[in-house]
């Protein structure tokens, strides 16, 4: 199974910090977010990882290199003249993703978490379109947009996303962390050669047609690092976890 890191974002909410530094290279407790993502995928057994790049993308490629110092092989997919979005970025790397088998692990290069991705990989069922790693955070109610049914503690099926395709009964709402295992057949739904959204163009039509999307909620912390406030929260948590702060 291959991995893919979404690292093409503009980081507008972190300006001026991201005027000269791409958001995935912003450090949390001294480690750039994208570097941590590479290490977490490696620790889950992923050895070939694709990375899409746009805003100041060459800085990311120069920093990570070919991946050999992390024990992985990295391949980069530059976008331009326009950013392709989450769906377009995956479609642009379709050949790479399909080369790894029937599924791939997707991670965001601008979030911080301490989840064990092995649990996610093991939970994915071959017949499912996707298995999403989800989280609940009381201080971010606006992000709880994935509505789910729970089959057993910490696992179940996704009913709808952002109220779509139908308002079917659900047990509760969760945050999609940007991390998941996806079947490569999802790429069939994404348009090529233009910007596209993984959720709007891929996941929602699949749910509407009855495709199975599952979720897993492992123990751990998650921060989206899209604002300076969340970046600070992530840094303080990471330092306390490491024992540097009491």
33-43 vs 57-64: helix axis angle to the nearest 10? 50
Count of CB atoms situated within 10 Å of the CB of 208? 12
0.95 surpassed by pTM: no
Closest CA to 90 of 198, 178, 201: 198
Domain ranges of the chain: 2-242
| Cα–Cα distance list, 177 to 35, 70, 133, 136, 201 (Å) | 17, 24, 6, 10, 18
Per-residue pLDDT of the chain (246 residues; tens, 9 = 90+): 899 999 998 888 888 878 899 999 999 989 999 999 999 999 999 999 999 999 999 999 999 999 999 999 999 999 989 999 999 999 999 999 999 899 999 999 999 999 999 999 999 998 999 999 999 988 888 889 999 999 988 999 999 898 665 667 788 999 999 999 999 999 999 998 899 999 999 999 999 898 999 999 999 999 998 888 888 999 999 998 877 544
| pLDDT digits 0-9 by tens, 84-138 | 999 999 999 999 999 989 999 999 999 999 999 999 999 999 899 999 999 998 8
Q: Please state the φ and ψ torsions of residue 80, each to the nearest 5 degrees.
A: 165, 160
Nearby residues of 153 by Cβ (< 8 Å), 6 or more positions away = none
Count of CB atoms situated within 10 Å of the CB of 159? 19
Nearby residues of 95 by Cβ (< 8 Å), 6 or more positions away = none
Secondary structure of residue 16 in the 3-state scheme: coil
Architecture of domain 2-242: Alpha-Beta Complex (3.90)
Of all helices (H) and strands (E), which one includes residue 79? none
HSE (side-chain half, CA atoms, 13 Å) at 220: 19
pLDDT of residue 246: 46
Closest CA to 177 of 79, 14, 37, 48: 37
Q: Where are the beta strands (DSSP E) in the chain?
A: 2-7, 27-28, 31-32, 48-53, 73-78, 103-108, 112-113, 130-135, 146-152, 155-161, 172-183, 213-216, 222-223
């Amino acid at each position: 199974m291959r991995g893919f890191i979404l690292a093409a974002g503009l980081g507008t909410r972190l300006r001026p910090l991201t005027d000269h530094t791409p958001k995935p290279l912003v450090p949390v407790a001294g480690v750039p977010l994208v570097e941590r993502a590479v290490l977490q995928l490696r620790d889950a057994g992923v050895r070939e990882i694709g990375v899409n790049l746009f805003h100041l993308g060459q800085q990311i490629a120069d920093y990570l290199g070919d991946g050999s110092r992390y024990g992985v092989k990295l391949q980069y997919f530059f976008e331009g003249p326009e950013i392709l979005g989450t769906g377009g970025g995956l479609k642009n790397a379709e050949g790479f993703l399909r080369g790894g088998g029937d599924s791939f692990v997707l991670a965001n290069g601008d979030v911080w978490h301490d989840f064990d991705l092995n649990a996610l990989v093991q939970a994915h069922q071959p017949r499912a379109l996707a298995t999403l790693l989800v989280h609940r955070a009381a201080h971010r109610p606006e992000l709880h947009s994935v509505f789910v049914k729970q089959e057993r503690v910490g696992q179940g099926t996704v009913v709808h996303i952002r109220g779509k395709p139908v308002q079917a009964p659900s047990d509760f709402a969760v945050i999609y962390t940007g991390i998941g295992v996806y079947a490569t057949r999802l790429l069939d739904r994404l348009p090529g050669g233009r910007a596209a959204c993984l959720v709007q163009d891929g996941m929602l039509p699949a749910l509407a047609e009855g495709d199975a999307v599952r979720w897993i909620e492992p123990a751990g912390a998650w921060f989206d690092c899209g604002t300076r406030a969340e970046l600070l929260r992530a840094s303080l948590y990471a330092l306390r976890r490491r024992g540097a702060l009491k």
